[in-house]
Structure 1
């Protein structure tokens, strides 16, 4: 594996770690607002109480998984799945909802719904690239060093 691929994987993982910890902690710190905004969403309003805990805890757990080599690939797969889910949710909101409450916190709350769609799509793509690169590195047998 080339050094460039390793660096690229590390950059993507660092971006996801920052994303998951930032968004997870932000949702917990501003829990009442997060839960309230979820309750206004036409697609998840009935599950807002449950989702308001599952999402931030899940985001931070995925962030932790990405830090450790043993769970990194699983963390990348879960990052892909969660970002794909979030992207689908944003697309559904843009396509079918009249009121667009934003349950994101911090800086991400400043993005428009269209910007969220692009942002999430970019992270879906980054996770796919990292999974492909990481999987290919795992399949390459390590060279045995010859002692002279």
Structure 2
């Protein structure tokens, strides 16, 4: 079954919209609950360096919001998809580290994600990776529809 190019475009748009919602929500939640996010990073067995936790408590949410902006703008959408993929791979590696290496599991992220176990979080992150890959694979097929990609 072949998917028509306009359907591919719609799929990429949906994938980008889902990532925009995820990253804006996650980034704003981390910024609004800054003390809690910092404490979670500081208590993490993988991040537990106070200076690193302080830096990452600002870098991560700002990066999430910046990637959402890249995804929202058609000319930077492909860069945004690659950035989303990279960030989700990093988040998934961190989650895998907590699951398989860490001697204990710290508190989870803020917002709705607190309702998930670390195993469920790992599965969810893996699904986001699959979505990012789908978006990247489908995107170049109709570059003419989006216009040139600027760097």
**2:97 aligned residue:** 92
Cα-Cα RMSD: 1.5
**1:111 aligned residue:** 116
Q: CA deviation at 1:120?
A: 0.2
Q: 1:138 aligns with which of 136, 143, 146?
A: 143
TM-score by length of 2: 0.89
3-state SS in 1 of match to 2:58: helix
TM-score by length of 1: 0.90
**2:38 aligned residue:** 35
- Number of equivalences: 141
Q: Deviations over 1:75-110 (max 9, x none)?
A: 100000000010011011100112211341110111
CA contact (8 A) 2:108 2:118 kept: no
What are the equivalent positions in structure 2 for 1:1-148 lying under 5 Å apart?
Answer: 2-46=5-49, 47-138=52-143
- Structure 1 runs of 4+ aligned residues shifted over 2 Å read none
CA contact (8 A) 1:33 1:103 kept: no
CA contact (8 A) 1:26 1:106 kept: yes
CA–CA distance in structure 1, aligned partners of residues 142 and 7 of structure 2: 12
